Amino acid sequence: MRVGIIGAGQLARMMLEDASALGIAATVLADAPDDGAAQTCADVIIGAAADEAGVRMLASRCDVLTLDHELVDLALLSRLESEGVVVHPPTEALRFAVDKAEMRRHLGAAGLPMPNHAILEPGEASDLAALGTQLGWPLVIKAARGGYDGKGVFVVEDPEAAAATIDDLHRAGITALVEEAVAIDHELAALVARRADGQIVAWPVVETAQVGGVCREVVIPGVLSPEVAAHAEQIAREVAELVGVVGVMAVELFATHDGLVINELAMRPHNSGHWTQDGSVTSQFENHLRAVLGLPLGATEVTAAAVASINVFGGDDAVDLDEALHRALAEPRAHVHLYGKTPRPGRKLGHVTVVGDNGAEVRAAAWTAAVALGTPVPAEMEVEIR
Rounded to a whole number of angstroms, the minimum distance from the CB of residue 120 to ligand ADP is 15
Stretch that binds ligand ADP, among 13-21, 178-186, 273-281, 309-317 (CB under 6 A): 178-186
According to the binding rule CB under 6 A, does residue 147 interact with ligand ADP?
A: yes
Count the alpha carbons within 13 Å of 8 in the hemisphere toward its beta carbon. 28
According to the binding rule CB under 6 A, does residue 181 interact with ligand ADP?
A: yes
According to the binding rule CB under 6 A, does residue 263 interact with ligand ADP?
A: yes
Could you give the CA distance from residue 340 to residue 328 in angstroms, rounded to a whole number? Answer: 16
According to the binding rule CB under 6 A, does residue 213 interact with ligand ADP?
A: yes
According to the binding rule CB under 6 A, does residue 149 interact with ligand ADP?
A: yes
Rounded to a whole number of angstroms, the minimum distance from the CB of residue 55 to ligand ADP is 23
According to the binding rule CB under 6 A, does residue 148 interact with ligand ADP?
A: yes
According to the binding rule CB under 6 A, does residue 187 interact with ligand ADP?
A: yes
According to the binding rule CB under 6 A, does residue 153 interact with ligand ADP?
A: yes
Tell me the per-residue interface mask from 27 to 46 with ligand ADP, x by CB under 6 A, - otherwise: --------------------
Residue nearer to ligand ADP on the CB measure, 187 or 331: 187
According to the binding rule CB under 6 A, does residue 264 interact with ligand ADP?
A: yes
Which run of H or E residues covers position 6? strand 2-6
**Integer angstrom CA distances of residue 265 from 86, 148, 220, 243, 283:** 21, 12, 22, 11, 19
Tell me the per-residue interface mask from 238 to 257 with ligand ADP, x by CB under 6 A, - otherwise: --------------x-----
Do 132 and 178 touch, CB atoms closer than 8 A? Answer: no
Among the listed residues 108, 113, 115, 146, the single contact to ligand ADP using CB under 6 A: 115
Could you give the CA distance from residue 219 to residue 275 in angstroms, rounded to a whole number? Answer: 9
Could you give the CA distance from residue 224 to residue 238 in angstroms, rounded to a whole number? Answer: 20
Residues 6+ apart with CB under 8 A from 226: none
Task: Compute how many other C-beta atoms are within 10 angstroms of the C-beta atom of residue 34.
Answer: 12
Residue nearer to ligand ADP on the CB measure, 153 or 161: 153
Three-state SS string over 171-192 comes to: HCCCCEEEEECCCCCEEEEEEE
**Helices within 251-352 (DSSP H only):** 276-279, 284-293, 321-328
Based on C-alpha coordinates, what's the Rg of the chain? Answer: 21
Residue nearer to ligand ADP on the CB measure, 115 or 159: 115
Do 174 and 123 touch, CB atoms closer than 8 A? Answer: no
According to the binding rule CB under 6 A, does residue 346 interact with ligand ADP?
A: no
Q: What is the per-residue DSSP string for 203-270?
A: PPPEE-EEETTEEEEEEES-S--HHHHHHHHHHHHHHHHHHT--EEEEEEEEEETTEEEEEEEE-S--
Could you give the dihedral angle defined by the CA atoms of residues 29, 35, 40 and 43, in that order, rounded to the nearest 10 degrees?
20
Q: Which of residues 309-338 bind ligand ADP (CB under 6 A)?
A: none
Which run of H or E residues covers position 139? strand 139-143
Residue nearer to ligand ADP on the CB measure, 320 or 380: 380
Residue nearer to ligand ADP on the CB measure, 210 or 277: 210
Total residues contacting ligand ADP by CB under 6 A comes to 20
Among the listed residues 210, 276, 277, 375, the single contact to ligand ADP using CB under 6 A: 210
Which run of H or E residues covers position 46? strand 44-46
Could you give the CA distance from residue 123 to residue 93 in angstroms, rounded to a whole number? Answer: 27
Residue nearer to ligand ADP on the CB measure, 145 or 335: 145
Rounded to a whole number of angstroms, the minimum distance from the CB of residue 4 to ligand ADP is 25
According to the binding rule CB under 6 A, does residue 152 interact with ligand ADP?
A: yes
Could you give the CA distance from residue 301 to residue 304 in angstroms, rounded to a whole number? Answer: 9
Residue nearer to ligand ADP on the CB measure, 213 or 345: 213
According to the binding rule CB under 6 A, does residue 140 interact with ligand ADP?
A: yes
Residue nearer to ligand ADP on the CB measure, 184 or 242: 184
Stretch that binds ligand ADP, among 58-66, 72-80, 88-96, 175-183 (CB under 6 A): 175-183
Residue nearer to ligand ADP on the CB measure, 188 or 289: 188
Binding site for ligand ADP (CB under 6 A): 115, 140, 142, 147-153, 179, 181-182, 184, 187, 210, 213, 252, 263-264
